[in-house]
Amino acid sequence: MSDRKRVGDYVLDLVFFAGMTATAYFLARNVLSTFSSHFADPEKEKSDQNRRKAKANLQRLLRSRDAQNGDGDGDDDGEGESGSGGDRNGASRRDGPRPEDLELNEYENMIAMEVVAPQDISVGFDDIGGLDDIIEELKESVIYPLTMPHLYSHAGSLLAAPSGVLLHGPPGCGKTMLAKALAHESGASFINLHISTMTEKWYGDSNKIVRAVFSLARKLQPAIIFIDEIDAVLGTRRSGEHEASGMVKAEFMTLWDGLTSANAAGVPSRIVVLGATNRMHDIDEAILRRMPKKFPVTLPGVQQRRRILQLVLGDTKRDDDDFDLEYIARVTGGMSGSDLKELCRDAAMMPMREFLRAHRASGKRMSAINPADVRGLRTDDFFPRSAALPVGPLPPRTAKTGEASETQSYTTTEDTGSRRRSNRRSSAASSSAKRRTGASKSASSQNGDDDEYEDVDETADQADIVPALD
């Protein structure tokens, strides 16, 4: 009896021990799972969220492109060679992956967050003023080879889209705006690559991100990889440079060279690296070699400023009797497109400021304001208290002393030829005055009138001060 009881106790102890062991195991596993999910990978939830966003963004991009290509194929249907050409065009533009088949790795998902669909870009070539020559050349050398490769295939790779395009010029002249318009008009996937995206704290991750940029661009081609302020990322290599920075540049250039190679079907890659910079001379020479197309985006001239002002002002209410667009375009020499926009913004505030002050002084309620009562824009609104526009240029130097003349009037103009013609007329008048003075001196010396001679000589000195030619 006692032996049977002892065996029963052993069995109960064994069952209790097994139960406690299993309970401890499950508790430990849950604790470790919670610990690993919250502490071992604290950004796991954020990474999953980014992956879902990137996938949804790319699926929407590819579906919209398929819908656009489907409409284009319908328009290309025809008879004879025209119809076959439309089929080839449609086939060449439907060679991308389907949204359901698109598989991205961890680093490609990071880059996919930077992809902008063409329909999400609200800037077109019609919104850019004064860059018509550059726009036309971009269409012929970049957009058409990207969107219609079959049209340029008869010359092999000679007429393919360039591997790199560089927009350089002073700040505020429209380089970034031109890049966005290029992506919008071409219908290409626009990868807006930020400097922070390429910078990772772990050694070697930046190289993997660079590789992911080009691999994703191949999957989404036609694609444009845009790098603003490219001199900060791909600047000149120096001996004291950090090793990681040099490796990123080397990786970028190696993969960039791979863009020129054709795929298995013999079709060149439709990927363009587009860069914008204010300091072209700070870019590495090897990078400049890979950008055969370089477009200088300089400060606008009179005609360009007139076009920019027309676009910026748009439907702004103007005073027809006291608004001179030609005069504003003429006196704003040296201002960029961004400066002109800020100038128009400050000028547009002048009528509103006057109206609000008069309304408050009358004691009326602000809710009773009628926007139609605000006066139109005037030419004078562009000049008072404007830090962007100088009140007037410095007085010109004189031929005799080389110093500024405080008494000479100055007319601001963009036409250098008219200024030179005016200076020539002044010089001719001065020469005539000298000849008359010389004749007066001779007559005065013959008559012995020394006082009159001194007066005429002083007049000659004053007439000798003429504006110097620029």
Boundary of a domain, candidates 333, 354, 382: 382
For residue 371, tell me if it sits in a domain.
yes
189-193 vs 223-228, strand pairing mode: parallel
Of 165-169, 325-329, 397-401, which gets the smallest average pLDDT? 397-401
Q: Could you tell me the pLDDT band of residue 72, with boundaries at 50, 70 and 90?
A: very low
Same domain, 241 and 280: yes
- Here the CATH number for the domain that contains residue 253 is 3.40.50.300
pLDDT at 96: 54
Whether 38 has a pLDDT exceeding 60, the answer reads: no
Same domain, 185 and 234: yes
For residue 302, tell me if it sits in a domain.
no
pLDDT at 342: 92
Residue 260 vs residue 395, higher pLDDT: 260
Could you report the per-residue pLDDT of 257-303, keeping only the tens digit for each? 776 555 555 566 788 899 999 999 999 898 999 899 999 999 999 99
Determine the Cα–Cα distance for residues 157 and 152; give it in Å rounded to an integer.
8
Q: Could you tell me the pLDDT band of residue 340, with boundaries at 50, 70 and 90?
A: very high
Structural domain count of the chain: 3
For residue 331, tell me if it sits in a domain.
yes
Rounded to the nearest integer, the mean pLDDT of the chain is: 73
Find the domain containing 109 and state its range.
Answer: 49-296
For residue 135, tell me if it sits in a domain.
yes
Same domain, 332 and 372: yes
3-state secondary structure of 333: coil
Same domain, 139 and 285: yes
Q: How far is CA 190 from the centre of its chain?
A: 13
Boundary of a domain, candidates 356, 382, 408: 382
Same domain, 230 and 373: no
For residue 414, tell me if it sits in a domain.
yes
pLDDT at 310: 92
Residue 58 vs residue 94, higher pLDDT: 58
Q: Could you tell me the pLDDT band of residue 136, with boundaries at 50, 70 and 90?
A: very high
pLDDT at 408: 37
3-state secondary structure of 267: coil
pLDDT at 7: 72
Exposure of 3 by Cβ count < 10 A (0-12 exposed, 13-18 middle, 19+ buried)?
exposed
Contact 231, 277 (CB under 8 A): yes
Residue 447 vs residue 46, higher pLDDT: 46
Instruction: State percent of the chain over pLDDT 90.
Output: 16
Residue 424 vs residue 276, higher pLDDT: 276
Any bridge partners for residue 245, and if so which? none
pLDDT at 296: 92
Same domain, 167 and 246: yes
Q: Could you tell me the pLDDT band of residue 190, with boundaries at 50, 70 and 90?
A: confident
Q: How many CB atoms lie within 10 A of CB 343?
A: 22
Same domain, 368 and 439: no
Whether 115 has a pLDDT exceeding 70, the answer reads: yes
Same domain, 282 and 151: yes
Same domain, 330 and 249: no
Across the range 92-104, mean pLDDT stands at: 57
Whether 155 has a pLDDT exceeding 80, the answer reads: no
Same domain, 217 and 155: yes
pLDDT at 152: 74
Same domain, 354 and 399: no
Q: Could you tell me the pLDDT band of residue 434, with boundaries at 50, 70 and 90?
A: low
Same domain, 266 and 335: no
Whether 90 has a pLDDT exceeding 80, the answer reads: no
For residue 100, tell me if it sits in a domain.
yes
Determine the Cα–Cα distance for residues 166 and 226; give it in Å rounded to an integer.
10
Boundary of a domain, candidates 326, 357, 382: 382
Helix, strand, coil % in the chain, rounded to nearest 5: 60, 10, 30
Instruction: State percent of the chain over pLDDT 70.
Output: 66
Whether 116 has a pLDDT exceeding 50, the answer reads: yes
For residue 188, tell me if it sits in a domain.
yes
pLDDT at 275: 92
Of 293-297, 361-365, 388-392, 434-438, which gets the smallest average pLDDT? 388-392
Across the range 197-212, mean pLDDT stands at: 81
For residue 387, tell me if it sits in a domain.
no
